[in-house]
Amino acid sequence: MAVNDNRNALVEEHLPLIGYHVNEMMARVPRHVARDDLASAGALALVRAAEGYDPATGVPFNRYAAIRIRGALVDELRSMDWASRGARTKVRRLAAVTDELTATLGRAPSREQLAEALGVDVAEVDQVRDDASRRVLSIDGYDNAIADILPDRAPDPEEAALNAERLTYLHAAVEALPERLRAVVRGIFFEDRAVTEIAATLGVTQSRVSQLRSEAMSLLKDGMNVHLDPELVETPANPAGVAHRRREAYFSAVREHVESVDVAATARAAATALSGTIGAAAQLGAADGVPAARFAALA
């Protein structure tokens, strides 16, 4: 009963998240997309987020739920778009060629003329025309399908290279952490261990684990930023202090680790190690001031 009460309390408290993200999405989609459909998908995602939330991760529920809701809305929109990207490309190409031939001939082109101009047979022209007539998202004259509005899940080569670089630096930043801090980060994010278990292993209190986690995240944030976004690293109040020298030594260790390994191999290993848990790191990273792109790109 207590579990259900906690779940219901989380859902009720965070209901406004659904309206916020639905409103944000509705501003970017065709008019015929039903708000109620998106709201239903968002509500279900919020309930599932409440059921699966583990406070021991230290991730604020509103951040965790927001990611689940946005993901559900994207999935709902994608499910409304029947056509593959290839099919939509053919439809657009047919429309463009039809316009060109109409302007040249002074009349609508025949199926045979379209087939010749496109370099296909008449049967394929008929198929593309049929596809065009069935396009769910061409209602109300809206030209763009959902998959054209939303980013493609597959990264382009440049994005893939950036992701590999980020993974490499994240892996190096974790490996360069002092032993106890590294154990906390690995336990919480990579091994999905409870804070109580980590505290027992290290022989410290749960509050101490939280302190170590905060210290580790601060180092990770600056350890990545100093190499990837130096302008985001704050100038120390006392450059000659012991704390600053330790941080500088850590930054150097991160760089040495990156330079000592094969970048591609490390990125692949890091991606494998982070699979399934990097989402929590992304949310926690945002909470601790790590640029969202640093972690979000790794999901």
Q: Report which of 231, 222, 282, 230 is spatially closest to residue 253, judged by C-alpha positions.
A: 222
Is residue 86 very low, low, confident or very high in pLDDT (cuts 50, 70, 90)?
A: low
* Bigger pLDDT: 161 vs 126: 126
CB atoms within 10 A of CB 15: 13
The two tokens of residue 284 are 């926690």
User: Which of 28-42, 61-75, 105-119, 144-158 is least confident?
Assistant: 144-158
Q: How far apart are CA 112 and CA 135, in angstroms?
A: 23
Contacts of 279 (CB under 8 A, 6+ apart): 67, 299
Q: How far apart are CA 261 and CA 263, in angstroms?
A: 6
Percent of the chain having pLDDT more than 70? Answer: 69
Q: What is the pTM of this model?
A: 0.41
User: Which of 51-60, 193-202, 220-229, 280-289 is least confident?
Assistant: 280-289
Q: How far apart are CA 288 and CA 6, in angstroms?
A: 26
Is residue 143 very low, low, confident or very high in pLDDT (cuts 50, 70, 90)?
A: very low
| Domains along the chain with CATH numbers | 2-80 (1.10.1740.10), 85-134 (1.10.10), 157-296 (no CATH)
Average pLDDT for 81-88:
58
DSSP 109: P
Q: How far apart are CA 118 and CA 195, in angstroms?
A: 62
Average pLDDT for 138-163:
50
Q: What do you get for the CA distance between the two ends of the chain, in Å?
A: 34
pLDDT at 203 over 90: yes
- What's the maximum distance between 2 C-alpha atoms anywhere in the chain? 85
* Bigger pLDDT: 145 vs 195: 195
